[in-house]
Amino acid sequence: MATDLPPGMVLLDFIRYQQHLVGTKIGCREGDCGACTILTGELNNDELQYHTVTSCLMPIGNAAGKHIVTIEGINHKEGLNPIQQAMADAGATQCGFCTPGFVMSLAGFCLDDKPATKENAIASIDGNICRCTGYKSIEKAAVDIVEKLKDKKEAIPFVTEQKILPEYFSGIKERLQRLRESINADTLKDVAGIKETPHFVGGGTDLYVQKHDEMKDATIRFLLHQPELNGIAKEDNKCIIGPSATVSDLLHSAIIHEAFPDFHRYAKLVSSTPIRNMATIAGNFINASPIGDFTIFFLALDAQISLTPNPSPGERGKRTLPLRKLYKGYKQLDKTPEEHIDKIWFELPGKNTLFHFEKVSKRTHLDIASVNSAIHLKMNGDVIDDAGISAGGVGPVPLYLQKTSEFLKGKKISEEIIHETIKTAQTEISPISDARGSKEYKRLLLRQLIKAHFLKLFPGILAESVLG
Amino acid sequence: MKNIDSYTHVRGESVYLDDIPVVNGTLYAAVFDSPVAHGKIKSLDIREAAAMHGVVKIFTAKDVPGDNQIGGIIPDEELLASTHVHFCGMPIALVVAETDEAARVALKKIKVVIESLPVITDPREAKEKGELIIPSRTFQIGDTINAWHQCEYVFEGRADTNGQEHLYIETQGAYSLPQENSAIRIYSSTQGPTAVQRTTARVLNIPMHQVEVDTTRLGGGFGGKEDQATTWGVMCALATYHLKKPVKYSLQRMEDMRMTGKRHPYSSDFKIGLNKDLKIVAYEATFYQNAGAAADLSPAVMERTLFHCTNSYFVPNVKATAYSCRTNLPPNTAFRGFGGPQGMFVIEAAIAKAADALGISASVIQQKNLLQTGDEFPYGQKAESEANECWDKAVELYDLEKLQKEISDFNHSNKQYKKGMALMPICFGISFTKTMMNQARALVHVYTDGSVGVSTGAVEMGQGVNTKMLQVATNIFSIDPAKVKINSTNTYRIANTSPSAASATADLNGKATEIACKEILKRLKKVAAEEFKTSEENIDLKDEWVYANGEKTMWEWKRLVFETYFRRISLSEHGHYTPPDIHYDLKKEKGHPFAYHVYGTVIITVTIDCLRGIYEFDSVKVVHDFGNSMNTIIDIGQCEGGIVQGIGWMTMEEIVYDKEGKLLSNALSTYKVPDIYSVPKEIDIHFLATQKDNLAIFRSKAVGEPPLLYGIGAYFALRNAVKAFNPSADIPYDAPMTPEKVLMSLYHPFKK
Ligand SMILES: Cc1cc2nc3c(=O)[nH]c(=O)nc-3n(C[C@H](O)[C@H](O)[C@H](O)COP(=O)(O)OP(=O)(O)OC[C@H]3O[C@@H](n4cnc5c(N)ncnc54)[C@H](O)[C@@H]3O)c2cc1C
Ligand code: FES
Ligand code: FES
């Protein structure tokens, strides 16, 4: 469908108040409850892929060319589909307000190419909050659905044949192909003649939380689907990341997986499936939260960014900057409002490189860190050749711990060195007390996370002695 | 039987407040609330806001035609602040505009100048300054003063519990529509339609019969919409009254969190004395309830704290005093458990303190003091106890000894991870403690085609009450569930209802439904008896057929209904129920306030990661006294949901106000409730099925609130795990036990 409504309006409002499809619920408008979960289908190299997203944070502008599916779109004319039946049978719905969101997330799971395991089924509902059931019944429903998918090979034919989802899903790929040809490639590019500096929008998961009211009628440049800002590639020993790559893109990248075998464990600690499907890496950097997880991650790797002014004057106006130089003060950046990130890169870890990321928050999943930290060590035998360590939540900006990193160079790991590392780190931080913890807690927690880094990277160290 | 709403729930077709199709010309409301916690309004300037595009009208206290008063128990809370504000988030003005967006834009243009007055957030400070909502109350049995001599061991201490945000996923809201002759219909997401009706009538100075309140269902309530849904209904009605237009207000999450009250935080002192056999001889407690800025339901909540101050234990000498302390926080309100959990936490802390000092497991003291049938509660009622049955069954079924050994072995062989376990027996009284509120009515119509419509005063909010009402009707008439429809809760159909609360909704309304159905059944049988020339006792209805003298007749249900109608006999009945034997003497603080008690025991096990201070609950094993459960799916759901909500309260749910009374945990990003990964890996629920007679509907005991109490065990399990790592940790009894508190106590004292 086409609409003249402002592209900055969130899909949730469009769905509920323009289309009057009220099965999609509102619980928070902050991406934190999942009641508004919908599916988006898009063509990726001619493959039709579906993702769950929270419609409260997704601007209409990011929906162009996609198949948008609400709960109404997965209902059979009559009766329940197997997902719904499983939920009903398990008693997984009480007040029912969260339920459409859960059903949509599970529909997303059915459409995913990941193996249909219980673990993946539960992971698919990691962004849905239910205040009534205590989740056990929902878990039961999820297991039931996994059972129904055990013969799944290709998702879309399977779910339509098995009548899990309506038959029309099988024709969507073709319809999207036709749609792609028909929409003007420039529809969402800058509207000519605009004088104001546009808001850059990536996934919108930060902007629509912070500045919800302003965004609807704002002048926006949508960056999410610009091809030149996407992709994850390897060039020599460098990894080049498009600023609009989402966390989920990273999760699916073989390059990232090879470089960081534990990446999926780290990513599991960051937001939720629907948020990860939207959240971009550049958005995380520019958001400039002192506890941005990917900022902390890439700081330890000493990632570099390239900035382009707007409108782009070509290569001339570009400049590059180490990520750690971007942050000048609380939410203050070495970046003009006209500039946007066009590229991110870092040196890929070699054979002798060790890397680890730690995060602790009040709730382990779908929560912002109290403190997070990443460490990156280049080893020469048992000597540290080069080191980078970062920490979030312990200062006004995401911190690259310069002195601590320096200190580690040339050292051999021992209990004493760990002790000294912690001491040095404590001199570089200045945590404050807030809703995520007291400053004393954050100091203690950083100490613990540094210990955790070493315990993880040097399994020979005895937990006994380090735990103290 | 599954929740009868499941079908529409899973298809996204169930209708909640914000889903009601809006009528043409509907206006949208938004509240301008106080930015400071206490002060005098010097000036309020709405001119710029009122002149904005799309704004229709801005209402202030001056526009209230009746009594500007929403306080239910005590009239101490203005709908719109007139001269003073008493908490951050107190409504000052109501903007009504053509769109929701225009209303919210206008809010930002309202200017208020408030002269700040001193802010109190701590209940003990409020008590010191004499800021009490009602005079203190004391429950007493025996004589504590003389009992201390008989004690071998005496321990004193302090215990604190924080509040809890309800976080119903559907926020508060209302939609009011003008009717002819100045009547108003209000759709309200409320647990108490009558409260909305009564308060609207009072504020608008119109008779109650002019106000129709209708509630189909709520997207969660948990007590948060018992009293505090009223505000929004009245606000919309006020605008409709003046403008003669439909007015809707569906709160945004941050407005909801900021403007509404929560579970009461409590700070308490305790003193416990045991004899050498570890029998609790004496117990004293002083409770400082943080009521917030107005009474709301605080006096009733405080009362339940006193009723449950000895939990599941018999203590011969008790003196418990409670103060309801006025602070400058949003008025705190009902929340599943209603003050009971706060009272129980304190005696559990006292027992834990004694156990620590004596070097024994708290379970030893708990077990020795469980209530026996016939034991007297401090308020005079005698227990019909299942406490020992539940405890013993749990110990045996879940093999406590083996669990204890596994944990101690694990802790011996692990440094980084430690396990902790706790038992928690519970006892919860069922009934509104205000005796008068224990009444309910149901209206049952049998239509000529044999279908049945049931209306009651019960509000469906996920607890499955409509399903249970339907079971009552289908059971009595012996008809197919598809023949029965449970209608919305509506003050024109059922009048003067008590709110859906106190876990008693299914009991009270179920019994009223039972009475109405049985009355109709009697008439039906009489008709059949005449037809088949026998007596009424020899008529049976089974699976929609009439049986006479045990033999199937030619009449099926529909025929019977029609024949009854044909004979001009009423097929409708309005049933009224009030439980027998309930009384309470406020002067003596003695009586028989509860229809019955619900018992249970839980064993909770947790593992903490001592490196990071985070934790996971391994298992929650319960033996719960359901009586004779009439719906096991729903009752298990209530149990699991209550347990997880209780664990949330004790672990990650942390309400943070700053010293100026501003809520810092004001969104889902800063206030965390359990997600799917934080729930216990295993929840086992064993039904202690008892056939004893009780006052519950179909002998199926109330199940809404009691399971939340199991969550208290989570706090003590965590404490025990911390102690396994750091035996000298000095851990204050201060819930919730967040990862922060865990880590700080693991490494107490911490030097950088
Ligand atoms: C429920 C929820 C949970 C979350 N959990 C976490 C978490 O666990 N950890 C965490 O780190 N974050 C979390 N976030 C924050 C957010 O998801 C991330 O910061 C995300 O990476 C932001 O990316 P985005 O594309 O959505 O940003 P957007 O909202 O689109 O943009 C954020 C900022 O970046 C700017 N921007 C975007 N792209 C560019 C570019 N190429 N060049 C210049 N400026 C640009 C925008 O103008 C804006 O100022 C969470 C958010 C939500 C809603
Ligand atoms: S409304 Fe809560 S995630 Fe969108
Ligand atoms: S069923 Fe009520 S929030 Fe999930």
* pLDDT (tens digit per residue) in A331-349: 899 999 999 999 999 999 9
Euclidean distance between CA atoms A449 and A454, whole angstroms: 9
Q: Say whether A425 sits in a helix, a strand or coil.
A: helix
- Cβ(A58) – ligand 2 distance below 6 Å: no
Global model pTM greater than 0.95: yes
Which of B613, B643, B672 is facing A363, going by the closest CB pair? B672
pLDDT in tens, B73-115: 999 999 999 999 999 999 999 999 999 999 999 999 999 999 9
Could you tell me which chain A residue has the CA closest to the CA of B165? Answer: A131
For residue B715, is pLDDT > 70? Answer: yes
Across the interface, whether the CB atoms of A96 and B217 are under 8 A apart is answered yes
Identify whether the C-beta of residue B211 lies closer than 8 Å to the C-beta of residue B491.
yes
pLDDT in tens, A375-416: 999 999 999 999 999 999 999 999 999 999 999 999 999 999
For residue B690, is pLDDT > 90? Answer: no
- Window B:440-469, CB contacts with A under 8 Å: 461-464
Query: Token pair for residue B221?
Result: 């309530």
Q: How many Å lie between the alpha carbon of B407 and the closest alpha carbon of chain A?
A: 19
Query: Token pair for residue B82?
Result: 């007139």
DSSP secondary structure code for residue A14 in this structure: I
Please, which pLDDT band fits residue A192 given cuts at 50, 70 and 90? very low
For residue A23, is pLDDT > 50? Answer: yes
- Cβ(A206) – ligand 1 distance below 6 Å: yes
pLDDT in tens, A84-115: 999 999 999 999 999 999 999 999 999 998 99
- Within 10 Å of residue B554's Cβ, how many Cβ atoms? 10
Same fold, B378-433+590-752 and B439-577: yes
pLDDT in tens, A366-376: 999 999 999 99
Euclidean distance between CA atoms B43 and B61, whole angstroms: 13
Please, which pLDDT band fits residue A191 given cuts at 50, 70 and 90? very low
pLDDT in tens, B644-675: 999 999 999 999 999 999 999 999 999 999 99
pLDDT in tens, B564-600: 999 999 999 999 999 999 999 999 999 999 999 999 9
Residue found under tokens 């129709």: B212
Quote the percentage of chain A above a pLDDT of 70: 96
Asked if the C-beta of B669 comes within 8 angstroms of chain A's C-beta atoms, the answer is yes
How deeply is A246 buried, as exposed, middle or buried, from its count of CB atoms within 10 A (0-12, 13-18, 19+)? buried
Across the interface, whether the CB atoms of A93 and B612 are under 8 A apart is answered no
**What is the CATH T-level fold of the domain B378-433+590-752, as seen in this structure?**
Aldehyde Oxidoreductase; domain 4 (3.30.365)
Identify whether the C-beta of residue B458 lies closer than 8 Å to the C-beta of residue B511.
no
Query: Token pair for residue B378?
Result: 């401090």
- Cβ(A36) – ligand 2 distance below 6 Å: yes
φ and ψ at residue A452, rounded to 5 degrees: -60, -40
Question: What domains are there in chain A, each with its CATH number?
Answer: 1-186 (3.10.20.30), 227-467 (3.30.465.10)
Could you tell me which chain B residue has the CA closest to the CA of A133? Answer: B641
Euclidean distance between CA atoms B139 and B118, whole angstroms: 33
- Cβ(A31) – ligand 1 distance below 6 Å: yes
Residue found under tokens 């935080």: B265
Residue B245 identity = K
Q: Which residues of B touch A94 (CB under 8 A)?
A: 3, 462-464, 637, 641
Q: Which residues of A touch B104 (CB under 8 A)?
A: 213
Could you tell me which chain A residue has the CA closest to the CA of B102? Answer: A213
Across the interface, whether the CB atoms of B416 and A467 are under 8 A apart is answered yes
Euclidean distance between CA atoms B363 and B603, whole angstroms: 10
- Within 10 Å of residue B566's Cβ, how many Cβ atoms? 10
Could you tell me which chain B residue has the CA closest to the CA of A436? Answer: B670
Mean pLDDT of A3-32: 96
Whether ipTM > 0.95 holds is yes
**Cα B219 to ligand 3 centroid, rounded to whole Å:** 7
Pairing of strands A304-308, A319-322: antiparallel
Domain boundaries, given as residue ranges, for chain B: 378-433+590-752, 439-577
Please, which pLDDT band fits residue A462 given cuts at 50, 70 and 90? confident
Residue of B194, B200, B256, B248 lying closest to B226 (CA atoms): B194
- Cβ(A340) – ligand 1 distance below 6 Å: yes
Euclidean distance between CA atoms B255 and B95, whole angstroms: 14
- Ligand 3 atom closest to the Cα of residue A95 is 2
Least confident residue range of A14-18, A458-462, B94-98, B609-613: A458-462
How deeply is B339 buried, as exposed, middle or buried, from its count of CB atoms within 10 A (0-12, 13-18, 19+)? buried
Across the interface, whether the CB atoms of A452 and B611 are under 8 A apart is answered yes
- Within 10 Å of residue B478's Cβ, how many Cβ atoms? 15
> Does B736 sit behind a cis peptide bond, omega within 30 degrees of 0 on the bond before it?
yes
Q: Whole-number mean pLDDT of chain B?
A: 97
Mean pLDDT of B718-742: 97
DSSP secondary structure code for residue B390 in this structure: H
pLDDT in tens, A232-247: 999 999 999 999 999 9
Identify whether the C-beta of residue B95 lies closer than 8 Å to the C-beta of residue B29.
yes
- Cβ(A201) – ligand 1 distance below 6 Å: yes
Least confident residue range of A338-347, B225-234, B688-697, B734-743: B688-697
Side-chain-side CA neighbours of B68 within 13 Å: the count stands at 16
Find the helix or strand (DSSP H, E) in which B307 lies: helix B298-307
Asked if the C-beta of B359 comes within 8 angstroms of chain A's C-beta atoms, the answer is no
Q: Which residues of B touch A22 (CB under 8 A)?
A: 12, 15, 18-19
Q: Indicate which ligand has the atom closest to the C-alpha of A268.
A: 1
Across the interface, whether the CB atoms of A448 and B611 are under 8 A apart is answered yes
Question: Which own/partner contact pairs does B559-565 have at CB distance under 8 Å and 24+ positions apart?
Answer: B560/B524, B560/B527, B560/B528, B561/B446, B561/B447, B561/B448, B561/B449, B561/B450, B561/B524, B562/B448, B562/B450, B563/B527, B563/B531, B564/B523, B564/B524, B564/B527, B565/B448
Identify whether the C-beta of residue B174 lies closer than 8 Å to the C-beta of residue B249.
yes
Euclidean distance between CA atoms B655 and B675, whole angstroms: 17
Identify whether the C-beta of residue B634 lies closer than 8 Å to the C-beta of residue B506.
no
For residue A188, is pLDDT > 60? Answer: no
Asked if the C-beta of B652 comes within 8 angstroms of chain A's C-beta atoms, the answer is yes
Q: What is the CA radius of gyration of chain B?
A: 27
With b meaning 16 or more CB within 10 Å and e meaning fewer, what string describes A24-39? bbbbbbbbbbbbbbbb
Across the interface, whether the CB atoms of B11 and A452 are under 8 A apart is answered no
For residue A357, the cross-strand partners are A374
Mean pLDDT of B735-751: 91
Q: Does domain B439-577 have CATH number 3.30.365.10?
A: yes
φ and ψ at residue B486, rounded to 5 degrees: -95, 120
Which of A33, A126, A441 is facing B744, going by the closest CB pair? A441
Q: What is the pLDDT of residue A464?
A: 74
Please work out, in degrees rounded to the nearest 5, the angle formed at the alpha carbon of residue A159 by the alpha carbons of A155 and A162: 135
Which of A23, A94, A362 is facing B464, going by the closest CB pair? A94
For residue A313, is pLDDT > 70? Answer: no
For residue A197, is pLDDT > 90? Answer: no
For residue A148, is pLDDT > 90? Answer: yes
pLDDT in tens, B117-134: 999 999 999 999 999 999
pLDDT in tens, B521-552: 999 999 999 999 999 999 999 999 999 999 99
**Inter-helix orientation angle B340-358/B298-307, to 10°:** 40
> Does B193 sit behind a cis peptide bond, omega within 30 degrees of 0 on the bond before it?
no
Across the interface, whether the CB atoms of B675 and A126 are under 8 A apart is answered yes
What Å distances lie between residue B331 and A59, A142, B31, B662, B701, CA to CA? Answer: 37, 40, 17, 13, 31
Euclidean distance between CA atoms B457 and B439, whole angstroms: 10
Pairing of strands A383-392, B733-735: unpaired
User: Among this protein's residues, is B705 annotated catalytic?
Assistant: yes
B138 Cα distance to chain centroid: 24
